Structure 1
């Protein structure tokens, strides 16, 4: 196109007919943001030369151009307007509670064409997979597992749950690479299992993160008290600071989340690796007192505590520590190239399990006896998140190493904020995906020009205001029931992922496809999904038993047993409350293998030749590279 009708800034003159401009960004392969009519300085290569042509730059009266502050303000305000592309993807839909047959095609198309921005790079996904959700579950909650079951029970529980997570994440990765759609696993449950079950799993997952966010904010404020004994401030002050900090991060959209998690995860990775090295040194007589520890604490007081019941209690705490691993699949819808970056991120979950959990907790069990009075006990209240109860901090303090305990406390605070940030991301994206499938109020599907589901984010932050209960006299009761809501949510989510993968494989083969057509194939395969499903069921059974007959019950009566059961098993009735009425109202049925939609949402439909070329290239790799690519 000739540029004779453009001014010195590369913009068209007002005389150019608007009919010559593209009607939508679907006609070009560039972001809509390239068409913003903002002033650009002279001699700068115009951003829009390879995209839609903007209007003439805004010029005020008397030829004055807007100031930088005015331009930024306009850019900031315009960012909250609806994404122009979103208006093209929204179709007429029935009201949320209209009693009609579920629209499979409409739901699949809505999640596949979500206007979320694809700005997460490979490095973001890798760090999210490696250390994205490591928080109080590992650094503090593992101390409760240690005091309840002993070091051997901790390792057995985390190892078995780690195997379950490994199979689950690979199953999720296989589906997410093929279908990088909004909502991820809740959308897969709707598409491959039952719309009613997808509805229940979506709301279950959203509620899990909605209640985790205020809990993590309170935990972050509690960690500050480690340095603030002399002149303690009100918890509400630190709660407000951390609340606004996470709010500011999420104003930058998915790129802000990705960059924040990248930095947070690096801090956690360095801290855990450093602790493992320190633990080895301390164990072999490298501490200030020069005493050899070895396996002393495994002999006295012992490797197990409370027998089989203590082991079952550790399963629940281990599941809580692994919560958030599935976020890498949820982020696939906003990845620039999930076919390349997601398989690498999924494989690195192995290192997260082996390095951060198994090896780190082995060192914790060798350095801290389960009888240590500073550890969280089985009867500790819901808000017992003091970093002084962290076995990581306790082991450093027992070694009389000055300063490192404060460093580890700072790492715990960063980890807690990281989980809070992930909570906003997980809840807002799930709510937006539910709304796009007409399974939540429609306003939650609003996506602005920055790719933010802004109303869903605001709902998450509104729920986060429960963190101000930290200054209330009833905080223990409130937080106990909030934890009860999220306690088993992750187990049910992982079970649903494994079951959806089993059903997806059955539908894939029933419709004439072969496994060679899959861009990424789960390493443990469908057998791994069966193993993961069985392990998830065993954890649910173990938690049911522990809920009814706990190790230590303050009120040993029928009322006490019932109250304790609901405090640890409340998520199960909540899932049924979502599932049963929806199934009755919409009269949904289980999706048959031959009726599954295996086309909508596939970002690349013609990959046969490309996959063949990549496999031929892999066959020529040396043996060491083939082995390396199994885990990375």
Structure 2
């Protein structure tokens, strides 16, 4: 497909601390992907097509939080409260994605979460967000390695093949994918996300058919699927239970911001990033809200297996619904899908954290050698360092130091909300700087229609979640539970103020904020192609409705 407008974008090359002088606008004729003979000056390459971005943004939110933990939210708070919690969090995700879309379309730079903190507010904020985000995904990689071994145990017992063997196999595969080209990562993530999306679509169809009585056999003596099940105790536990499941619902959506990380390596981000952002809201509505509704109308809230505290595949609400509908292979199907979800999360975690580390290096906040990029446009040392940290965290989980590993998880678990708050805050600063410098919103490739409500709503919801997450530790007071819930907050403060004191950074004046380096431009180019040509057959048209 030939487009009359093609983007010419200068890749991210910006100084650690911005001076008061304006940065020169890059030439429209600069080759964004040009590399010099010196490897240290080679740049990341724009090889992610529109379909990659769409599946990265969608697939990033579909994982074990939906397949395994969704039932526990209903068990704790009832289907009504669960519906409210997931709807509120879903709307908040759309708000910060809209904020991220405006910034990444205008400034499509890799490692955008920490890069925007440095660019729009204070280099210390970028330092904090970058290291927190890198640490979060590095530890998440370790948890996925642990989970992969447990999932394989369903088919091959640990007595036959230890879990660490599978972890080693998977880390080698994921590292290899991320060490070749960014297109390899995008292609792998596309197909793994597609499997997850199709599994959810099939679940929704099967669920509604079962509720309508078209398939399956309801359990004798049990409430009739539909309103009878939903109305048993829809708001169990009241407002306290609602706040309790906000945290679980929020964790389920983490990963949606990956499209912003990938924007720096996307083809034609002026067109493809907004396209991916616009599709987020109703797809979140489709996949999460409908999934929670179906589970709440089929499995009674007092079902002892609904909470599934052990993460048992057989007790997954997805598996239960498939079995009730007469699909006897539900266990094997969901185990395979969850394995794909785990590998997808590990793949994305390795990608996102390596790009955050690369950006930290380019800003002068990490060792300089992490800025090296090979001829395929991959920051190889960043990928290797992240994989190594993930393996070390995995080893900690194996040697029986449960307390140490649980603390690592506690530190990593809430950092997603810190990243979302960083996105919202940076959007506010971006708009303030844009206005202060006398620029017109008409020049933005994509304008967030939710500003200023969107970023402030995101800040409010994330603050409520972070503050209320450990409320159960107060009655009676439990020191370990309190520290486990809130240890991230002082850790974040230490990173920010420590770097601010050490590097003597200053909050940037709005008129001095650099709004040009890395900015996307366009010019007529009849031969430019921004994405791979695709045949619009019937299958692809149907698939495009969902993904």
TM-score for the superposition, normalised by structure 1: 0.74
Tell whether the 8 Å contact from 1:188 to 1:500 is kept in structure 2 after alignment. yes
> Relative CO higher for 1 or 2, CA cutoff 8 Å, sep ≥ 6?
2
2: CA distance, partners of 1:125 / 1:482: 30
Is 1:596 matched with 2:528? no
1: CA distance, partners of 2:234 / 2:155: 33
2: CA distance, partners of 1:86 / 1:233: 41
2: CA distance, partners of 1:27 / 1:515: 25
1: CA distance, partners of 2:301 / 2:381: 46
> Structure 2 vs 1, CA of residues 460 and 145 (structure 1 numbering), >3 Å: closer, same or farther?
same
**1:196 to partner: Cα distance:** 1.0
Instruction: Trace 1:182-221 onto structure 2 (pairs within 5 A).
Output: 182-221=110-149
**1:565 to partner: Cα distance:** 1.8
Q: Which one of the candidate residues 477, 484, 502 is aligned to 1:567?
A: 484
2: CA distance, partners of 1:329 / 1:360: 26
Is 1:130 matched with 2:58? yes
Tell whether the 8 Å contact from 1:129 to 1:349 is kept in structure 2 after alignment. yes
Tell whether the 8 Å contact from 1:393 to 1:408 is kept in structure 2 after alignment. yes
2: CA distance, partners of 1:250 / 1:29: 24
**1:416 to partner: Cα distance:** 1.0
Tell whether the 8 Å contact from 2:91 to 2:281 is kept in structure 1 after alignment. no
2: CA distance, partners of 1:277 / 1:87: 51
**1:202 to partner: Cα distance:** 0.8
2: CA distance, partners of 1:566 / 1:426: 27
Counterpart of 2:378 in 1: which secondary structure?
Answer: coil
Is 1:339 matched with 2:270? yes
Is 1:420 matched with 2:346? yes
Q: Which one of the candidate residues 290, 299, 303 is aligned to 2:234?
A: 303
1: CA distance, partners of 2:299 / 2:240: 21
Number of aligned residue pairs: give it.
497
> Structure 2 vs 1, CA of residues 539 and 331 (structure 1 numbering), >3 Å: closer, same or farther?
same
> Structure 2 vs 1, CA of residues 478 and 373 (structure 1 numbering), >3 Å: closer, same or farther?
farther
Match of 2:297 in 1: 366
Is 1:351 matched with 2:282? yes
Match of 1:248 in 2: 176
2: CA distance, partners of 1:206 / 1:230: 31
Instruction: Trace 1:463-502 onto structure 2 (pairs within 5 A).
Output: 463-466=389-392, 468-469=394-395, 472=398, 474=400, 476-502=402-428
Deviations 1:318-364 (A, max 9, x none): 11111110010110110121011111011111133111111111111
**1:31 to partner: Cα distance:** 5.9
Unaligned runs of 5+ in 2: 1-27, 526-543
**1:480 to partner: Cα distance:** 1.9
Unaligned runs of 5+ in 1: 1-25, 34-82, 89-113, 550-555, 611-628
2: CA distance, partners of 1:349 / 1:230: 39
**1:260 to partner: Cα distance:** 0.5
Counterpart of 1:581 in 2: which secondary structure?
Answer: helix
Deviations 1:416-439 (A, max 9, x none): 110010000011000010011001
RMSD (CA atoms): 2.6
TM-score for the superposition, normalised by structure 2: 0.85
Match of 2:260 in 1: 329
Tell whether the 8 Å contact from 2:229 to 2:296 is kept in structure 1 after alignment. yes
Counterpart of 1:84 in 2: which secondary structure?
Answer: coil
Tell whether the 8 Å contact from 1:501 to 1:526 is kept in structure 2 after alignment. no
1: CA distance, partners of 2:99 / 2:158: 51
1: CA distance, partners of 2:397 / 2:437: 58
Is 1:531 matched with 2:449? no
Which is higher, the Rg of structure 1 or of structure 2? 1
Tell whether the 8 Å contact from 1:433 to 1:445 is kept in structure 2 after alignment. yes
Instruction: Trace 1:150-165 onto structure 2 (pairs within 5 A).
Output: 150-165=78-93
